[in-house]
Amino acid sequence: MIKVTANHYPIIKQYILKAPTFVYSILDQLIEGTVYADTATFQTLLIHTKSGIHFVYGDSTTTEIDRQLAICLEQSVEKGKRFTLFSYSE
């Protein structure tokens, strides 16, 4: 997965039609967070806050998303932090 830079956030915001409020707050750069994408086309996204709330958008069955989620979970456990996962589903 690639880490998405803030200049791509407006593009991503157009793709996501329904998401928890924290996702839009990250994309609007109101709260601190990180956005990862599977490719430059932003078909699969992992968005997470510094406080440990995560959101998966798109095809959540890709291996790359699994790897990145595992990394995030391991880091949360090591630091004794929260890990909450939301996912987009039609």
Contacts of 40 (CB under 8 A, 6+ apart): 2
**Residue span of the structural domain in which 11 resides:** 2-87
Measured distance CA(43)–CA(81) in Å, rounded: 28
Phi first, then psi, for residue 62 (nearest 5°) are -70, 150
Phi first, then psi, for residue 55 (nearest 5°) are -140, 130
Q: How many domains does the chain have?
A: 1
Taking only the tens place, the pLDDT of each residue in 42-63 is: 888 999 998 899 999 887 666 7
Candidates 27, 29, 45, 25; CA nearest to 37 is 45
pLDDT at 20: 92
pTM: 0.85
pLDDT at 60: 63
Phi first, then psi, for residue 16 (nearest 5°) are -85, 110
Question: Which residues in the chain show pLDDT less than 50?
Answer: none
